[in-house]
Structure 1
Amino acid sequence: MGSEEIFTVQEVSQFLKIAEKTTYRLALKGEIPGFKVGGSWRFRKAEIEKWIREQEKQCL
């Protein structure tokens, strides 16, 4: 777990190609996996990739 990549809101927004406001909204609603550090949202890259795969399955 030591080399686990962590994203900020800006980075996950760029990764998903969505607006930062959308990322905040999804995080606040618990729709995207994230956690807060000192009041700032953080996202594990592995969990975001897993979440993407789950979203793709729902579309099938």
Structure 2
Amino acid sequence: MEDRWLSVDEIAAYLGIKRDTVYKWISEKQMPSHRMGRLWKFRKEEVDEWVKTGGADNSRIDDSGKAEKR
């Protein structure tokens, strides 16, 4: 299997989201990404693990232990 870096458009298509959402997740949800000059690049395996561990989840646990919607 080919091991290569994916672009914003490729990772957006892979996840079935818009490219604007990718940029939002990078800044707000610490989506695993690597900046190469002006470009953002992604490792599919890192993004898969991030999604599996709840990185893309819209809810977040606050200090009181309650889930808050973002």
TM normalised by structure 1 equals 0.76
Name stretches of at least 5 consecutive residues in structure 2 with no aligned partner: 60-70
Please tell me the root mean square deviation across aligned C-alpha atoms, in Å.
Answer: 2.2
Name stretches of at least 5 consecutive residues in structure 1 with no aligned partner: none
Runs of 4+ in 1 over 2 A off after TM superposition: 28-31
Corresponding residue of 2:51: 52
- Give deviations 1:2-37, integer Å, cap 9, x for gaps: x63211000000011001000011112352100100
TM normalised by structure 2 equals 0.67
Taking CA–CA contacts closer than 8 Å with sequence separation of 6 or more, which of the two structures ends up with the larger relative contact order?
1
Identity of aligned residues (%): 25
Structure having the higher helix fraction is 1
